[in-house]
Chains A and B, each alone.
Chain A
Amino acid sequence: AQSVTQLGSHVSVSEGALVLLRCNYSSSVPPYLFWYVQYPNQGLQLLLKYTTGATLVKGINGFEAEFKKSETSFHLTKPSAHMSDAAEYFCAVSDHTSGGGADGLTFGKGTHLIIQP
């Protein structure tokens, strides 16, 4: 069974500082990896995804993430935080080969990003 661990339920950074949200996964096969963002009072929306190919993927709003197979990680970064980045961020894994009663999608518990002025 696969799992997703997001280190830190809350992360606080100053406006203009580097944002780093950590995600580690376990999977028996090379997975597809996702970061979703949830702004206050809204549903989740896709920030970026890794399926195959280039391991550094760029998403919306200046975010990017790097798939590191050796570290089983998919950390999310942004060079300079904006107040508008305050939201809940979810890492998710799809092993895309599962069946037999499981859809193969697993979400982390989420990280609440707080931006200090």
Chain B
Amino acid sequence: EAQVTQNPRYLITVTGKKLTVTCSQNMNHEYMSWYRQDPGLGLRQIYYSMNVEVTDKGDVPEGYKVSRKEKRNFPLILESPSPNQTSLYFCASSIGIGRKNTGELFFGEGSRLTVL
């Protein structure tokens, strides 16, 4: 089954304790992206990756890191989480973005993160 898998789905942590949210897709997609969803603000892009070893900042990258060492995986790293990073996070993938592709996204089920 084609899917985007995120882990953990729920996490409560404390300020400053490094954490990683994993994202894996099994569709051989080139493009992957992280979003955070907050009430009244919709979806805001954190980072995206056009392909392996190619990553770029989205609209709200501060406080986050990503890596794309393999095509299927795109982990989101919070080196020193703060309470303002409490949010619902979504990973998404697409066959590609650009002239050759429509940019249709496949989303994971979300990771709800609470930073105390």
Q: Which residues of A does B touch, CB under 8 Å?
A: 9, 32, 34, 36, 41-46, 49, 51, 90, 92, 94, 96-99, 101-105, 107-110
Q: A110 contacts B42, CB within 8 Å?
A: yes
Majority secondary structure, B binding face: strand
User: Given that A107-B42, A109-B42 are contacting pairs, would A44 and B107 also be in contact in the complex, using a CB cutoff of 8 Å?
Assistant: yes
Q: A44 contacts B90, CB within 8 Å?
A: yes
B residues in contact with A45, CB < 8 Å? 107
Instruction: List 28 contacting pairs A-B, 8 Å CB cutoff, sorted by A.
Output: A32-B103, A34-B103, A36-B105, A36-B107, A42-B109, A43-B4, A43-B108, A43-B110, A44-B90, A44-B105, A92-B105, A94-B102, A96-B97, A96-B103, A97-B99, A99-B98, A101-B57, A103-B58, A103-B97, A104-B97, A104-B103, A105-B45, A107-B42, A107-B43, A108-B42, A109-B40, A109-B42, A110-B43
Bound-complex Cα distance A5 to B77 (A): 31
Q: B42 contacts A34, CB within 8 Å?
A: no
Q: B110 contacts A103, CB within 8 Å?
A: no
A residues in contact with B90, CB < 8 Å? 43-44
B32 to chain A minimum Cβ distance, whole angstroms, is 10
A39 to chain B minimum Cβ distance, whole angstroms, is 11
Tally of A-B Cβ pairs under 8 angstroms: 71
B residues in contact with A41, CB < 8 Å? 110
Q: Besides the contacts A51-B102, A103-B58, what 6 more A-B pairs have beta carbons closer than 8 Å?
A: A36-B105, A44-B92, A101-B57, A104-B97, A104-B103, A105-B103
Q: Which residues 69-100 of B sit at the A interface, judged by CB distance below 8 A?
A: 90, 92, 97-99
Size category of the B interface is 20 to 34
Residue B12, interface by CB 8 Å: no
Report, nearest first, the 7 A-B pairs whose CB atoms are least far apart: A109-B42, A43-B107, A94-B103, A44-B107, A107-B43, A43-B109, A110-B42
A residues in contact with B41, CB < 8 Å? 109
Bound-complex Cα distance A9 to B97 (A): 28
